[in-house]
Amino acid sequence: MYLNEPNMKDKILYSEPLFLFLESFFESRTVSKHIHFLEEWLQLVLTDKFYTKWNNPADILFFYNQFVELYEHSSKLIGDERASEEVESVSAARAQLKLSYKPQYLSTEEILNPLLAIQGVFKDYDFAYYKSALYEWLEEALNSALSDIDGTEIFPMYANTKKLIEANWLLLQYFVSKDQQEKNVKALICFEQTCPLLLQKSYLNDPYKEIESFFSGASLGEYRKDLKDWFRAALIEHVSFKRSSKLIYFHSQLIQLIHAGYLIVNNNLIYQRNEPYCSNANTFKDWIIGVKAKTEEETGVETSNYDVFALSDAEKRDPLQYVYKTLKLKKIKEIRYGLQEWLYCALSKQNSLMDIEDQYILKLYETLEKLLEAFFLLVTGNPIKAEFNAEGKTL
Q: Please tell me whether residue 393 adopts helix, strand or coil conformation.
A: coil
Closest CA to 318 of 252, 285, 273, 271: 271
Distance CA 391, CA 373 (A): 33
Question: In 322-350, which positions are buried (b, 16+ CB within 10 angstroms) versus exposed (e)?
Answer: bbeebbeeeebebbbbbbbbbbbbbbbee
Query: In this predicted model, which residue has the larger pLDDT, 345 or 307?
Result: 307
Dump pLDDT digits (tens) for 15-26.
547 777 888 788
Per-residue model confidence as pLDDT tens digits over 303-312: 889 999 999 9
Asked if the model's pLDDT at residue 225 lies above 60, the reply is yes
Instruction: Give yes or no for a contact between 323 and 375, defined as CB atoms under 8 angstroms apart.
Output: yes
pLDDT at 58: 64
Cβ atoms 390, 276 nearer than 8 A: no
- What's the pLDDT at 310? 94
CA nearest neighbour of 384 among 313, 312, 286, 294: 286
pLDDT value at residue 345: 81
* pLDDT tens, position by position, 257-269: 998 999 899 889 9
Contact criterion met (CB below 8 Å) for 311 and 322 = yes
Least confident stretch, 45-49, 312-316, 366-370: 45-49
Mean pLDDT is lowest, of 189-193, 250-254, 338-342, 356-360, for 189-193
Cβ within 8 Å of residue 95, ≥6 positions away: 112
Domain ranges of the chain: 8-188, 201-380
pLDDT in tens, 109-163: 898 889 999 999 999 889 999 998 888 888 777 765 444 555 556 778 888 999 9
Q: Can you say how many angstroms the Cα of residue 93 is from the centroid of all Cα atoms in its chain?
A: 37
Mean pLDDT of 35-56: 68
First to last CA, the chain: 71
Q: Looking at per-residue confidence, does 382 or 182 come out higher?
A: 382
pLDDT interval class at 379 (50, 70, 90): very high
Residue 153: the pLDDT is 64
pLDDT of residue 279: 87
Q: What is the mean pLDDT of the chain?
A: 79
Q: Is the per-residue pLDDT at 354 higher than 60?
A: yes
- Mean pLDDT for 29-50 is 76
Which residues are paired to 278 by β-bridges?
A: 281
Tell me: pLDDT of 9 over 70.
no
Q: Is the pLDDT of residue 182 over 80?
A: no
- Among 101-110, 220-229, 336-345, 385-394, where is mean pLDDT lowest? 385-394
Q: Closest Cα partner for 172 from 329, 333, 34? A: 34
